[in-house]
């Protein structure tokens, strides 16, 4: 994640930055109850071995460069006040308001891996941006600290271009989020450091930045789900007030085990699910379920960052009523007998669009509530049309039934192991609040085994016994299915509570990782 500085003029140099993406935002202050932008918080970031520690630079009325975030300090306007006046007011831990010189010197002491991320704050005074850029670069050069600067960052494009002019080796990252990777590359800016929501709205910029050789950073990532998203997308840097949490999530990331993200939907858009990623099943499908699957926005849509699959109690005509097409399909004998369904829902699938052989499949979701509901996250083998079910195999990453509110099932079905003959191989895990909070349901699948995982806990481990495809038809590609069913052979065993409708399964993301 780091780089070796090209600057060799200093007697003391940073040989390489730490091999992690963690940038402590204004130092590692939060969990240690230290002042932001203090030397103490910088030292803590160094102690944690963060790859970088970010800090903010402003210039006083008498042209002293100081480290502070806001345009005011202790109710004094920084640009209109001398350093002598400002420094009378100590930081909450008793430190004197640090100058840039003091801060950089502190950052060079007993530090072999944490780079300094210098944010130069823009001024509204004409000409002052250029002046502060000149003074910052000059100060760094006088201290022979160039190799300790991981990057210069700013909301001012003018400042960054001036920094690059003054030091051709300097790394720069733009903060504003208004420039495309193509524009940054054209103007010689080294990378982008954009607020999270802008990158989520424009995920294509991630790959464009990587393709252009730009560094990727994002601020400020303090929530587990945001941190995990940045890790999954292999960001070079993650700017955070919670560096300890980022280190924890790095340890748990699939990337630590050699995986890389190959397919995902984060649902950071609105309307229909992306047609390039998802298709639909329609009507009555199987298991004597009572819902009629549609692609109506009422039943399936994306909004507020989530995929919503919503089941309704409503009457809808059955297009297959009295159809002759089901004569030779014994498992669908009931379909042509029903003139109208009493429930609607949706079933999404990647069939024909994306399928995978081995990998880690993760879905973060919140489940629907009520007796009679049967949500599922599962996979079917690509050769199902050729050999049929269960010979093609089925992987139930997550099944839940409303009458068993505190349990999740993870199961495989094959010719030798399936529920039709009572030999399916599955296990159950207890789950707290599946309706009130999101959980991560995952499968790790290799040629030798499958692990079914709930929130990082493996609860079902199935070994490949290397017999026949009757036991293990899982050495082929499988596609993914997400649905909410109503009633049916499993979901309807205790009836259907019609008072609970409508009910939703909310999906925060779907991610597929594979190893090279």
Q: Per-residue pLDDT tens, the chain, 516 aa: give them.
A: 333 333 333 457 898 999 999 999 999 999 999 999 999 999 999 999 999 999 999 999 999 999 999 999 999 999 999 999 999 999 999 999 999 999 999 999 999 999 999 999 999 999 999 999 999 999 999 999 999 999 999 999 999 999 999 999 999 999 999 999 999 999 999 999 999 999 999 999 999 999 999 999 999 999 999 999 999 999 999 999 999 999 999 999 999 999 999 999 999 999 999 999 999 999 999 999 999 999 999 999 999 999 999 999 999 999 999 999 988 888 899 999 999 999 999 999 999 999 999 999 999 999 999 999 999 999 999 999 999 999 999 999 999 999 999 999 999 999 999 988 888 899 999 998 899 999 999 999 999 999 999 999 999 999 999 999 999 999 999 999 999 999 999 999 999 999 999 999 999 999 999 998
> What pLDDT sits at residue 424?
87
320 shares its domain with 190: no
85 assigned to some structural domain: no
Which segments of 6-98 does DSSP mark as H helices, in order?
39-47, 83-86
pLDDT at 4: 35
What is the domain range of residue 490?
Answer: 279-515
With beta carbons less than 8 A apart as the criterion, state whether 19 and 51 touch. Answer: yes
Specify which residues 426 forms β-bridges with: 411
Question: What is the C-alpha to C-alpha distance for residues 277 and 365, in angstroms, rounded to an integer?
Answer: 18
Query: According to the model, what pLDDT value does residue 145 have?
Result: 97
Same domain, 180 and 115: yes
CATH number of 414's domain: 2.60.120.200
Residue 46, sorted as left (phi over 0), alpha (psi -120 to 50) or beta, turns out to be alpha
CATH number of 216's domain: 3.20.20.190
The verdict on 236 and 340 lying in the same domain is no
Nearest-Å Rg of the Cα atoms of the chain is 28
Task: Determine the Cα–Cα distance for residues 147 and 145; give it in Å rounded to an integer.
Answer: 6
- Given 215, 234, 252, which residue is the final one in a domain? 252
Residue 447 has a CB neighbour count (10 Å cut-off) of 11
C-alpha–C-alpha distance, residues 94 and 91, integer Å: 5
Q: Would 186 be classed as within a structural domain?
A: yes
| Residue 288 placed within a domain | yes
pLDDT at 335: 95
Domain identity same for 382 and 468: yes
The answer to whether residues 324 and 218 belong to one domain is no
Q: Is residue 438, in this structure, part of any structural domain at all?
A: yes
Number of domains in the chain: 2
What's the confidence (pLDDT) of residue 477?
Answer: 98
Whether residue 427 is found in the same domain as residue 467 = yes
- In terms of domains, do 331 and 437 share one? yes
Domain end among 252, 268, 292: 252
Q: Is residue 470 part of a domain?
A: yes
Q: How far apart are the first and last CA of the chain?
A: 20
Are 229 and 294 members of one domain? no
- Which of 310, 382, 399, 424 does the annotation list as catalytic? 399
- The answer as to whether 356 is a domain residue is yes
Is residue 193 within 8 A of residue 211, CB to CB? The reply is no
Among this protein's residues, is 399 annotated catalytic?
Answer: yes
Task: Given the residues 36, 54, 394, 424, select the one marked as catalytic.
Answer: 394
Note whether 432 and 420 are within 8 A (CB).
Answer: no
pLDDT given at position 11: 54
Residues 6+ apart with CB under 8 A from 225: 364, 438, 508
Q: Indicate whether 329 belongs to any domain.
A: yes
12 in Cβ contact with 108 (< 8 Å): yes
303 and 239 inside one domain: no
pLDDT at site 39? 98
Same domain, 292 and 396: yes
- Establish whether 382 is a catalytic residue: no
Q: In the listed set 233, 252, 271, which residue is the last one of a domain according to the structure?
A: 252
Q: Does residue 37 fall inside a structural domain?
A: yes
Same domain, yes or no, for 389 and 333?
Answer: yes
Examine the domain organization and report whether 235 and 293 are in the same domain.
no
Residue 510 CA, distance from chain mean position: 10
């Amino acid at each position: 994640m780091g780089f070796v500085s090209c600057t060799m003029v200093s007697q003391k140099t940073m040989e390489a930055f730490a091999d992690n993406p963690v940038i402590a935002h204004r130092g590692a202050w939060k969990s240690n109850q230290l002042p932001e932008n203090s030397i103490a918080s910088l030292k803590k970031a160094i102690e944690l071995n963060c790859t970088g520690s970010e800090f903010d630079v402003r210039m006083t009325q008498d042209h002293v460069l100081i480290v502070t975030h806001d345009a005011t300090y202790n109710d004094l306007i920084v640009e209109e006040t001398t350093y002598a006046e400002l420094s009378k007011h100590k930081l909450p831990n008793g430190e004197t308001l640090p100058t840039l010189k003091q801060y950089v010197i502190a950052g060079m002491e007993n530090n072999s891996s944490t780079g300094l991320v210098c944010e130069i704050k823009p001024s509204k005074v004409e000409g002052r941006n250029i002046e502060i850029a000149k003074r910052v670069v000059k100060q760094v050069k006088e201290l022979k600290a160039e190799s300790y600067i991981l990057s210069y960052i700013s909301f001012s494009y003018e400042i960054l271009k001036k920094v690059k002019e003054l030091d051709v080796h300097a790394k720069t990252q733009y903060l504003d989020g208004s420039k495309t990777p193509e524009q940054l590359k054209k103007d010689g800016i080294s990378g982008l450091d954009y607020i999270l929501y802008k990158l989520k709205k424009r995920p294509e910029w991630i790959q464009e930045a990587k393709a252009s050789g730009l560094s990727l950073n994002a601020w400020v990532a303090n929530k587990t789900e945001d941190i995990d998203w940045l890790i999954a997308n292999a960001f070079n840097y993650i700017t955070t007030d919670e560096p300890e949490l980022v280190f924890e999530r790095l340890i748990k990331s699939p990337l630590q085990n050699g995986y890389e993200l190959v397919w995902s939907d984060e649902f950071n858009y609105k309307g229909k699910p992306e047609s390039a990623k998802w298709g639909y099943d329609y009507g009555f499908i199987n298991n004597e379920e009572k819902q009629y699957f549609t692609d109506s926005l009422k039943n399936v849509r994306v909004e507020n960052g989530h995929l919503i699959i919503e089941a309704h109690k409503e009457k809808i005509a059955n297009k297959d009523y009295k159809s002759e097409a089901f004569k030779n399909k014994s498992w669908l004998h009931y379909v042509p007998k029903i003139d109208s369904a009493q429930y609607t829902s949706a079933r999404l699938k990647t069939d024909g669009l994306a399928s995978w052989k081995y990998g880690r499949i993760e879905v973060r979701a919140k489940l629907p509530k009520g007796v009679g509901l049967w949500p599922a996250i599962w996979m079917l083998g690509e050769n199902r049309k050729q050999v049929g079910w269960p010979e093609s195999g089925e992987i139930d990453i997550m099944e839940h039934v409303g009458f068993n509110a505190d349990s999740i099932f993870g199961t495989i079905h094959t010719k030798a192991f399936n529920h039709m003959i009572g030999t399916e191989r599955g296990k159950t895990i207890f789950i707290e609040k599946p309706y009130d909070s999101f959980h991560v349901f995952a499968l790790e699948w290799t040629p030798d085994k499958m692990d079914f995982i709930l929130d990082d806990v493996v609860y079902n481990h199935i070994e490949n016994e290397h017999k026949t495809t009757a036991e293990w038809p899982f050495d082929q590609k499988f596609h993914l299915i997400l649905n909410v069913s109503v009633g049916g052979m499993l979901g309807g065993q205790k009836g259907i509570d019609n008072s609970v409708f409508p009910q939703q399964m909310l999906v925060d993301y779907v991610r597929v990782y594979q190893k090279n």
